[in-house]
Structure 1
Amino acid sequence: MSDHSPALELDGVGKAFGGTPVLDGVSLRLGAGEVVSIVGPSGSGKSTLLSLLTGALAADEGRIRAGGAPVSRDNRPFAFMPQRDVLLPWRRVIDNAAVGLEVAGVRRAEARRRVSRLLPAFGLEGTERLYPRQLSGGMRQRVSFVRAVVQERPLLLLDEPFGALDAMTREELQRWLLDVWAVHRWSVLLITHDIREAIRLSDRVLVFSPRPGRVVGEVAVPRVIPRGDGFVLRPEVPVIEDRVRRLLARGPV
């Protein structure tokens, strides 16, 4: 990737189902090492956008580029973490985390070796032989995150990664994600319904309109690192939150 190329660039991307537009002229840029959140009402096409990036769907119009090159089967440098962990109940932690590598053709022993190297940093040391049913919701999400990042892709796509967790576990994993990001500095595109979460985790918050989804505005967040638990108490945070809410209330423009 060139130092001057964005990690991800969308230009006028559109998608319709049965003649009904879901995404309408979506344009955005994600810089290297940047965390950008997308917030918007249900049905605004946020998850559809991720499906276009992962290749599950094809865009009807527009351009998608990653690292300066068009996204294609040979250039899709994304690791995807869905809202729910979708761990395979019959596979132990180490094998669940390795499944993406195995699908990509990595031998099982090598995949396990790569996963084992990451587990301590993700708070999973000693869980290698446990099954998903033996883990808490937060631990399951950590396994899902390892499964994504062990593929060593430069860009992470996170679809409501903490949305199904209780408030205390969600705050714990937000803190943990910030700590891990501070070490690795991935480029991250985060989908969330939680405005405070978007503000805490992101450099910029993009606001989507209701269907058809389009970017109606963006709000920058001060780059304060680390963003500990006290970050949301800073006086500028309510101002940022108000800007995001005003954009959400505006709707299509």
Structure 2
Amino acid sequence: MTSGLDLTDVRKGFGGAPVLDGVSLSVAPGEIVSLIGPSGSGKSTLLSLLTGALAPESGRMLFDGAPMTGRARPVAYMPQRDALLPWRRALDNAAVGLEVAGVRRREARQQADALFDTFGLQGTQDRYPRQLSGGMRQRVSLLRTVVQKKPLLLLDEPFGALDAITRDDLQMWLLNIWAVHRWSILLVTHDIREAIRLSDRVHVLSSRPGRLVGEVQVSRDIPRDDRFFADPRIAPLEGRLHDMLRAGSHRD
């Protein structure tokens, strides 16, 4: 039986125009897999298929060997923007996903509150989103995703709207907290360096229409610290991904 996420020949189009044209990929338990590609290549569409917001036209979507159908999915989704509700305090925002899933408000708040220290947010529970920095807002958003205790996290450009220094800090923070919890993650990003730094594998999606045109593996033997990009094994990976991305951006 297949363990983790397994997509085979998944296809989706709109108005007769194909957007995803036979995508096959997998995410093993405890693995971080990134998906990069030009705008319009179908990255967000793929995430929408996984959450159940859209249905595939054909292909197979399995998790732990079982078809991914219906509203109950083994995934938790973190959108590109933090999407925090401005009228709710940080703790209430972190608990909202559990409440939507049917958990009573008091219990949802307790479960979320238990993670605030781990996420570097202790003392911010009663702050409104406008009182939080961009980095803190993203941590609350990720906490809201993680607290749902789903086996697969879908992260849609989680750090794309942040400045370079904050983005770098949160990448390292995510790696450190992932090393403890070993979540399975499918990450969508436009940033090649972010994809390499965070991932075990990086897939490249073309726009002709959305097809996977290549994959790069990144060894966990390379320390994911401040010296990561100085490692001589990284530059060739960047070059290969640049070439794949450039080739995948050319339309037939």
Give the TM-score range, shorter chain. over 0.9
Deviation at 1:211? 3.8
Query: How far, CA to CA, are the matches of 2:177 and 2:222 in structure 1?
Result: 12
Tell me which of 27, 31, 35 is aligned to 1:38. Answer: 35
Alignment of 1:60-209 (within 5 A): 60-73=57-70, 76-209=73-206
Aligned counterpart, 1:223: 220
Unaligned 5+ runs, structure 1: none
Unaligned 5+ runs, structure 2: none
Query: How far, CA to CA, are the matches of 2:157 and 2:208 in structure 1?
Result: 19
Counterpart code for 2:106: A
Return closer, same or farther for 1:75/1:132 CA change in 2, 3 Å cut-off.
Answer: closer
Query: How far, CA to CA, are the matches of 1:111 and 1:53 in structure 2?
Result: 24
- Which SS does the other structure have where 1:119 is aligned? coil
Aligned counterpart, 2:23: 26
Query: How far, CA to CA, are the matches of 2:115 and 2:240 in structure 1?
Result: 38
Q: CA RMSD in A?
A: 1.3
- Which SS does the other structure have where 1:189 is aligned? strand
Q: Deviations over 1:206-237 (max 9, x none)?
A: 00111410111101101137511211111111
Alignment of 1:223-242 (within 5 A): 223-224=220-221, 226-242=223-239
For this pair of structures, how many residues does the alignment match?
Answer: 250
Query: How far, CA to CA, are the matches of 2:3 and 2:35 in structure 1?
Result: 17
Counterpart code for 1:37: S
Moved more, 74-83 or 58-67: 74-83
Q: Quote the sequence identity (%).
A: 66
Tell me which of 13, 17, 23 is aligned to 2:14. Answer: 17
TM-score, normalised to structure 2, is 0.96
> Does structure 2 conserve the Cα–Cα contact (< 8 Å) formed by 1:93 and 1:127?
yes
Counterpart code for 2:120: G
Query: How far, CA to CA, are the matches of 2:246 and 2:101 in structure 1?
Result: 43
